[in-house]
Structure 1
């Protein structure tokens, strides 16, 4: 009897130390919320004090392969997978340098599932050698589910992204650094414009049957005086066309899209940044059975959509370009076991790279407000907060991308938190209720100012 009591006591102590209850305190009443909006207010002050340029913008770009030769790396995507068996198409770091005569800023996108925190940290240290900090760079990723993994040394990273590889991680950092260096060196005078069109047939709501979806293709058009043109494009469909049984490296549909753009007579260089992909999957309007034929078709259609509006899109040569990173205060993590029970925050911190952290990045290019989130961000939030309407009231355009160098899970509509049992809402919401509104209000506040 005594042994049974001791056993039960040990189990209860363990359960209490590992498991807690979901915190449903209204987020607006928390210190975390108040601190974050103080950060937002401080950023708005900085924006108001920004000195305007009167110089022609200079723009450069470059890419570098990130796959190390002869290193057995895992495939990241669809859960734990081990070594890739073939390379269908190469993976790259693609960089853009912008110089408005006062400030130098950069965009860096990786052909990976996320932009790894470990890569961001190491790259930030290297960039100091050339007078750049990570505060000067907007980070993103294509979110391919057939990129290489092994880039996260934490326990959670080893489980989700494959066994950590020092060689693989070092190669990504070195290639990203070289791409930025080459982009910086290749700057020429140029101009920028905002690209926007729709492609509703190639995106679906993957958590609600026939649910709402944000259909837009958005991007940045770049013309240079040397006759070279480039584009940065974004779309909201997950790159998950390639069947999970193919253990290969591939950029999925974003790679085909970029290939088509660069093969055209119009665009010399292009990059893709994953958009508002949470809750959004890729469409299949032609019901093509073969994964690879499907991504080729999707890439071709999306490319044609951009090329169709290219000549109609005006560009400006004298614009301000700047980056601001607004730190987000997170409540303790809330990874759910069931509706009202969660794993305690100390467990998540121990398994991850220190727990929830990150910022919302705002890159302002003339009248374009580009927001980059530390998460999968849902296009449904953009619909709820009517970001297009808010932006147009301020004579602005907007775009939102995901995976900005930190990762806090999925940010989706709060209405789903207690009503849906999907993977995105249950397992991948690490932050708890009301964070869709939290992120939505941050972006809306910045758009309005």
Structure 2
């Protein structure tokens, strides 16, 4: 009997060791500048040239439009895993795809924002097939999202995505794709010669650092102003606070505070069209007073007041520069941790989440550069490249790829949601992204 028990224990130990070897491995802490993926990126950057982008053309034209992407019947929500794929129960406010098209005679580019948690990778893949039908390509399309945690899901195929966004529904992909295509098509039709300019404001009272009280906060409100020859005016706003005013127990379909802000701005007689793109929302939470919808109203009211006060004074100029490009972003193998020093093996991560390409998106409109990231990019990191930049720079999150959170590297070993559960590609990605963006800005 004793020999049988000992044999059983030994078999269990052997099975456990085999499973550990197959499923787990140690975290790779190799300094990023000594890795193969860093070398691959440098090889790309060595050949990156602004001259190849045909930057200059005729005077910039711009047009804008939006398309309703609210489903006709309830679908799963995305934003909080605790909802477990629950469908929304009421439409508090409709969700939209908003597009602004730029054209300088040599090339065209579309800036697009969705009232979604992220721009789903499946949608980006669908767009690659759909955009040529209207004379655009995915390389000409700059994508971002408002990052509302109370919008539709159903857009992720793998298990991890389904936990966040509910059961996959191909009709959701078609709905979003068609909305983007229609918005771009209409914006392209209505473009006119336009002046553009950038205004910056600050709203420190509306954003908190949610990892640590000692962390730096990016409270900048960026407002990109466009005025057509007819006098019609648009405003593209970027801000860093998470759109999480509504809690996980609320099943209202809503754009959260970015939607309320856009609606408020469009009530201003000086603004005919408004859109919102999430900035460096990583580590940053909304800080207005009130609960849920009251908090949404307060966030929108304070931001719109700040913007409206200085909107008329934003200097506008005709510009001829326009460029759009994507840069492939090599990464470390997945490092999805189950503890401080142990991770799931890459094959297991890919089977649970999927293997999607990561890129940096680049859009240059006049002297303003937009850089889109495939993640919840940290506002704390954005501070380190936006302030020293010789020319204006806006960093957006959610460009159609998704690799989790990119946060300040000093937080990597903290047992926090952003740095443990949602850091998927290992240590030093903060420094890696900063170096890459800084190198791009020097070339631009």
Q: Fold match, TM over 0.5?
A: yes
Q: Distance in 2 between matches of 1:258 and 1:448?
A: 33
State which of 44, 56, 59 in structure 2 corresponds to 1:53: 56
Match of residue 10 from structure 2: 5
Q: Distance in 1 between matches of 2:187 and 2:198?
A: 21
Match of residue 187 from structure 2: 183
Aligned pairs (5 A) from 1:207-218: 207-218=211-222
> Contact 1:67/1:168 (CA < 8 Å) preserved in 2?
no
Q: Distance in 2 between matches of 1:321 and 1:339?
A: 45
| TM-score, reference length from structure 1 | 0.94
> What displacement does 1:381 show?
1.1
> Contact 1:331/1:431 (CA < 8 Å) preserved in 2?
yes
> What displacement does 1:210 show?
4.8
**Deviations, residues 10-51 of structure 1 (Å, cap 9, x unaligned):** 2221121111100011110111001112222322x2x03444
Q: Distance in 1 between matches of 2:53 and 2:144?
A: 25
- SS in structure 2 at match of 1:326: strand
Match of residue 309 from structure 2: 308
State which of 411, 427, 430 in structure 2 corresponds to 1:436: 430
Does residue 224 in structure 1 map to residue 228 in structure 2? yes
- Mark the CA change 1:401 to 1:308 in structure 2 (over 3 Å): closer, same or farther: same
Q: Which runs of 4+ in 1 moved over 4 A?
A: none
> What displacement does 1:386 show?
4.5
- Mark the CA change 1:18 to 1:48 in structure 2 (over 3 Å): closer, same or farther: same
Unaligned runs of 5+ in 1: none
State which of 28, 38, 52 in structure 2 corresponds to 1:33: 38
> What displacement does 1:314 show?
1.2
- SS in structure 2 at match of 1:153: coil
Q: Distance in 1 between matches of 2:105 and 2:317?
A: 15
Aligned pairs (5 A) from 1:96-245: 96-245=100-249
**Deviations, residues 145-183 of structure 1 (Å, cap 9, x unaligned):** 001101111222112211111222211111111111111
Match of residue 78 from structure 2: 76
Q: Distance in 2 between matches of 1:294 and 1:172?
A: 28
- Mark the CA change 1:3 to 1:140 in structure 2 (over 3 Å): closer, same or farther: same
> What displacement does 1:52 show?
4.8
| TM-score, reference length from structure 2 | 0.95
Aligned pairs (5 A) from 1:311-330: 311-330=312-331
- SS in structure 1 at match of 2:418: coil
Q: Distance in 2 between matches of 1:191 and 1:42?
A: 32
> Contact 1:75/1:248 (CA < 8 Å) preserved in 2?
no
- SS in structure 2 at match of 1:272: strand
- SS in structure 1 at match of 2:294: helix
> Contact 1:68/1:167 (CA < 8 Å) preserved in 2?
no
- SS in structure 2 at match of 1:238: coil
Pairwise CA RMSD:
1.4
State which of 414, 429, 448 in structure 1 corresponds to 2:409: 414
> What displacement does 1:428 show?
0.4
Unaligned runs of 5+ in 2: none
**Deviations, residues 351-408 of structure 1 (Å, cap 9, x unaligned):** 12225x311111111111111000000011123x34322x23xxx1011000000000
